[in-house]
Amino acid sequence: MSQGNMNLTLKVWRQKNKNAEGRLETYKVNGISPDMSFLEMFDVLNEKLITDGIEPVAFDHDCREGICGMCSMYINGRPHGPKTGVTTCQLHMRSFSDGDTIVVEPWRASAFPVVKDLAVNRSAFDRIMASGGYVSVNTGSARDANSTPIPKDDADEAFMSAACIGCGACVAACKNASAMLFVSAKVSQYSLLPQGQAERKMRAEKMVAQMDAEGFGSCTNTGACYAECPKGISLENIARLNQEYLGARLTSDTM
């Protein structure tokens, strides 16, 4: 038997900007279909708020297909909500029950300052990528893909690491707000492939240095990042990053 429409109580974090004092505001939404996504439910809420003359809730979204990493919401104490392996936009309201109270907050990290309400500034990730998350550009003719043999295990590991969408759930889940899972995934996707070898030593040093400069905390080793990652990025990447960084520092000219 299909679940009927639901009436819900939402406690939503409202904050004008990063310097303003935030607070939880309570709203009621009625007639919510269990087949709606969580973001579609928020669209209904915002339509109601606009009709009532209240400023709508600001939240990030783009593709709504689980691949852009924008839909960052802390739902009932968990990044992206109660389901494992899904982003907020993929979370459906059938994961909740009629009469539920749902608390929705932004990511909590000093490196992710609140822009407004549930939207946070994740440009720290962009700066980490700019510091070393790239490969050398060869402007000559493209080589045939099959001319560079790559072991299947390495190719698979690189592909799985590259699946990271940079949503920041790992940071939100970590009690130290560490970005180690994100950085390690981006280092791994290049270090495992021949194309990424030119910047290999520099990449680990610079990306870790930028991560620290942005104010992210140290790894807690609890695995909360992996547990909440919607793409299941492996903790093995963190071990690989530590290995890459140690090797780079042992031969660094700055030591």
Task: Look at the pTM and tell me if it is higher than 0.85.
Answer: yes
- Whether the per-residue pLDDT at 143 is higher than 70: the answer is no
Helix (H) / strand (E) element for 240: namely helix 236-250
Token pair belonging to 29: 């939404």
**Quick one: pLDDT at residue 149?**
81
How far is 223 from 87, CA to CA, in rounded Å? Answer: 18
pLDDT confidence of residue 249:
86
Give the Cα-Cα-Cα angle 231, 137, 186 (nearest 5 degrees).
20
The CATH code for residues 123-250 is: 1.10.1060.10
d(CA 128, CA 213): 9
Chain mean pLDDT for the chain: 93
Identify which of 198, 133, 142 has the alpha carbon closest to the alpha carbon of residue 161.
133
Residue 254 pLDDT > 80, yes or no?
no
Q: Count of residues for the chain?
A: 255
Kind of pairing between the strands at 23-32 and 114-116: unpaired
Structural fold of domain 6-116: Ubiquitin-like (UB roll) (3.10.20)
Residues 47-94 pLDDT 10s: 999 999 999 999 999 999 999 999 999 999 999 999 999 999 999 999
For residue 157, what is the enclosing H or E element? Answer: helix 152-162
Compute the distance between CA of residue 16 and CA of residue 239 in angstroms, rounded to an integer.
Answer: 39
Mean pLDDT of 105-128: 97
Domain boundaries along the sequence of the chain: 6-116, 123-250
Query: 3-class DSSP state for residue 194?
Result: helix
